[in-house]
Structure 1
């Protein structure tokens, strides 16, 4: 018996499917029985008795057999299966009643041999019904009983009483045994189907749970888009498809500019809603070009299949930036953000998902470093820079840093007194392998790798040794990176170096940038307070180029603000730059902070700044960065100039 019931979704459908598999064969068996009975009685019975009945039933049986055969692989709905099984049960009982009656009627023209044939045919029909119609329990029992009654009647024709009793006993016991066996098979069948349906239900539940877990594990719960795991999973698939088809794949990384300031100013609830809205906006803008993912924080990524043209990618990037820069309202707040984007392409820029991400991330870094709010596609020049940075990092890690690192010093001058107040410490590296390496290269490489925190203690010790040679009223300004101020243990190490140096902490000023603080505002704030508690001073470098708000500046333990040199370059020709410098100067006065203007190179710039109320000046106008041995001579020269001016004034 065929037990392939995989398509059935209920007991009724499984019964129908089982019947559809076996019933055509049973039809044919009944046709064979009728032909055999007709054949053995043809010579004895009238022709119409042996021919008319089979001539009526056999075509109908063949038609029914074909119909069921065609439906053997079709599972109708449950209600249709129930109806078909009920109709078939009635047909079986009627058919068997007619066939057995016809066979008994033919027996009157037979002899002992034909009687045996009739009894065998009827017995075969009974067996067929018991085992072939397991799914029609009542119909098979009634039809079997009809066959049994026919056998008993035919057996009564045996002249011996003992033989008649024996035949009847054997038939009754055989029928009962067959019925018990058939019912056992039916219950086994039912149990099998129920077990399968139960297992399938459980499997569907497990599959649904697995799909739910997969979706949750691969979806960013905050923005409802794919998360970092899903991004790299899809990127691997996209690269494999691209390798098979020869098509290109572009990978982009987008970082929101100014989100941390908004988040810290307005609270995380507003920040979370802003991220959700921005994710939807980025997804809608990108549209059919690709899928969007959130990598973490305010960083998003997208995969664009079949695109590698730098011009087209820049167009897509400009559209995304324009979309992000459109004001967005979150509750009672009207938000305005920017973004920077880095692109990299496969196979031109990288051959693996990791390399593609690194290249896109470098392009993003380059976009932020060279102006923000712009898209950058990783190119050959960037590749050379990446290789150079990697070489610098490897060489830096293998270097004798105590021997190879040194400092230069650039004065911060009170322009009204022509007096140096501080000397900013600027790191330099003379490598025996690479020669003199630009700080724009090795500092960037060290910050990107986190190795900067190894350089900082060495440079601080050198700066503290140098200051001990200079007058007590001259201090130093020492730069700290974001990596230095977000880890308490690193800050405590720097405090320990300061305390053991013997230098008065009030002669030391630590410079931090807005970008460094925004790496982790809360932790940076706590660690800056630790530094401030020693008596050292804190200044905010490159003010105006980041995204800190006034409320955040008020939280910081600042003593000074340094105006970035970018506002000074066109001071003579650009009224906007003068207004910015004037506003920052006024702001610093209102907050009781000192203000230093960097990048001053000409007398004209100095005159304008003094007219705006700026007195603390740093730049080439006074001095380029000096070696340690030249500082004392510079200070002496300033002293002589002041003395000369005072003498002239008194004369």
Structure 2
């Protein structure tokens, strides 16, 4: 530590010293030409007054040589001003050292020349020599105030011989002049030392200020870098991505190659966090960042937008196939298993693209369209790539119309419930009914549940809709046979917060309906959005006395790893497994496995989407006894007396 402090101090001192030398050199570059000019002019004047009285070599040739050397040095220093900034510290130090030596040499030469010239001429010429030496040294001291060593050396070289020489003349006037020059020189030296000290402090303060400004600029640059960087993956963050998108949009002109905005979302990442913890999730995100960086290129920039969402900016896009090929490569890279500490997880990535300028008139619209393409990919092409098209634009327009109609709807009057039977084929009777929402909009007409439920979930309106429909279902149940049970669907928003669940509990409690008559159905996709909160919510509902059913089993990611952690009573096998169930051996094996799993966990297994007697026969052979579908009855409204119990052969 001490050694480091010493090195830092030495570095700071060296930096300050080099800064002082450079500042001295800069001052020299401005003032030394003036010094040489003073020497030339004063020497020429003295030489001129001694022509004819002093020898030619002393009055003409010697001063001519000395003045020529000074003029040469004058032009050298004038030229150095141009390349001063490009000189290194070592070059500056060498130039200063040479200058000090040269000034000392010039001081000796000019002092010797003046003293040799003194004996010639009349008293006025001799007085001129004394005046020349005194005024010249004072002028030179002024020109050398930024270079203490040179100024002191020149003063000593001139004043000492000058004082001794004129003191030995025994001429009171010359002695007085010598004493006067000494006193003035002493005053000049004091002023010089004070000025030099202040100059050195000023240079040091300036260098310290520059160093502080440099440090502040470095910190500012670092803060700016961190503000635009995702610390986990090392990729640019959402802020930087949107800024780059805006800049790219503004720089793209008509006739140039277009660009595309891409949004990637990981499929199944939520399960990694829920099952293995957030530390494992971070490792997966780091690996995703590394894999995406493999695709980085001058025409492709990447960013982490937040969570498990990543962004792409693809420049010089010529056609859709280019994006599809890129998307296929990225999705393929993301599907490679992720391994850490002896654990392996399999994920996929869905990718949505929007191309400029064909599908976006602003950066915000391009990003929104890319996000919608991603949403479409996750619903219909999970693990694949979707490029935003006019078809999607029409869907957005339709969703927008439904969203506005839903926000202004009279839910009490426009929303109704239909009920579809759930049948136990072994006892040939209906054991429950599923409540299904129907909406007849005054402006749009009949809107399918698959559309308005999706809109309500995307707009955050779904909980208000669930509350209204639950109140309707409970109101109808009051007039029915107390033995009649219903199943009611809850969304991710309904179980995603303690407040929403508390609201549902209050509604059921105040309704007077026995909680045991209710079964709340939740989908796997609703659970994986926040598994811990969803589990807590289901336990709260279970404590109320209702039953819990896991809907669309087999389509999500929590199936086998999380089912044992949930307070379930039923599992509903997704209708997707029933397609070609009579001939598809794989589908039969999956259904048989789910039935066995439910039996071992003591859960009721319900198969939905049954539409034919052949399916019923095959399913019964696989061990299924509870079924639902058009074969047993279409959803329909019931009168005030409720449903009539039926038997099914």
> Structure 2 length normalisation: TM-score?
0.91
2:155 to 129, 144, 153: 144
Q: Summarize deviations over 1:540-573 as a string: whole Å, max 9, x none.
A: 1111111114231111111111111111122233
Residues 254-263 or 300-309, more deviating: 300-309
* CA distance in structure 2 between the aligned counterparts of 1:529 and 1:82, rounded to whole angstroms: 81
Q: Distance in 1 between matches of 2:130 and 2:436?
A: 116
Change beyond 3 A, Cα 1:351–1:134? farther
Matched, 1:270 2:280: yes
Quote how far apart the aligned CAs of 1:70 are.
Answer: 3.1
Q: Is the 8 A contact 1:7 1:75 kept in 2?
A: no
Alpha-carbon distance in structure 2 between the residues aligned to 1:130 and 1:247: 69
Tell me by how many angstroms 1:630 deviates.
10
Deviation of 1:446 after TM superposition, in Å, equals 1.0
Q: Is the 8 A contact 1:8 1:75 kept in 2?
A: no
1:352 and 1:610 map into 2 onto residues whose CA distance is 57
Q: Which moved more, 1:51-60 or 1:149-158?
A: 149-158
Given the alignment, which residue of 87, 94, 98 partners 2:105?
94
Counterpart of 1:130 in structure 2 is 141
Match of 1:38 in 2: 47
Match of 1:601 in 2: 611
Q: Contact between 2:50 and 2:125, CA under 8 Å: does it hold in 1?
A: yes
Q: CA RMSD in A?
A: 2.6
Query: How do 1:14-93 and structure 2 match up within 5 A?
Result: 14-72=23-81, 73-74=84-85, 76-93=87-104
Residue 311 (structure 1) shift? 1.9
The 3 A distance-change label for structure 1 pair 132 and 378 is: same
Matches within 5 A, 1:353-368: 353-368=363-378
* Deviations, residues 603-650 of structure 1 (Å, cap 9, x unaligned): 2222111111112111111222212339956x35x24xx6xx7xxxxx
Matches within 5 A, 1:267-306: 267-306=277-316
Partner of 2:191: 181
Q: Distance in 2 between matches of 1:358 and 1:631?
A: 49
Deviations 1:104-161 (A, max 9, x none): 2223333344345434432342133212112331321231244335655786799973
Question: Partners of 2:135 and 2:36 in 1: how far apart?
Answer: 13
Matched position secondary structure for 2:96: helix
1:575 aligned residue? 585
* Residues 1:209 and 2:219 aligned together: yes
- Alpha-carbon separation, structure 1, partners of 2:614 and 2:208: 89
Q: Aligned-pair distance for 1:288? A: 4.2
Distance in 2 (CA, whole Å) between partners of 1:169 and 1:55 is: 31
The 1:121/1:308 distance shift into structure 2, 3 A limit, reads farther
Q: 2:166 & 2:356 partners in 1: Cα distance?
A: 89
1:441 maps to which of 431, 448, 451:
451
Please name the residue that 1:648 is paired with: none
Q: Is contact 1:16-1:75 (8 Å) kept? A: no
1-structure distance, mates of 2:240, 2:46: 73
CA drift of 1:184 comes to: 2.3
Unaligned ranges ≥5, structure 2: 1-14
Residues in 2 aligned to 1:558 and 1:595: alpha-carbon distance in whole angstroms: 11
Report deviation, 1:99.
0.8
After TM superposition, give the deviation of residue 75 of structure 1 in Å: 5.7
Bigger Cα displacement from structure 2, 264-273 vs 235-244: 235-244
Moved more, 40-49 or 310-319: 40-49
| Change beyond 3 A, Cα 1:9–1:175 | closer
In structure 2, the residue matched to 1:419 is 429
Contact 2:524 2:557 in 1 (8 A): yes
Corresponding residue for 1:316?
Answer: 326
Q: Is the 8 A contact 1:429 1:436 kept in 2?
A: yes
Task: Name 1:392's counterpart in structure 2.
Answer: 402
Are positions 1:612 and 2:622 aligned together? yes
Cα distance between partner residues in 2 of 1:579 and 1:459: 37
Q: What is the match of residue 415 of structure 2? A: 405
Do structure 1's residue 326 and structure 2's residue 336 form an aligned pair? yes
Alignment equivalent of 1:350, drawn from 321, 345, 360: 360
**What is the number of residues matched between the two proteins?**
633
Pairwise CA distance, 1:391: 2.3
Unpaired segments ≥5 residues, structure 1: 1-5, 646-651
1:629 aligns to what SS in structure 2?
coil
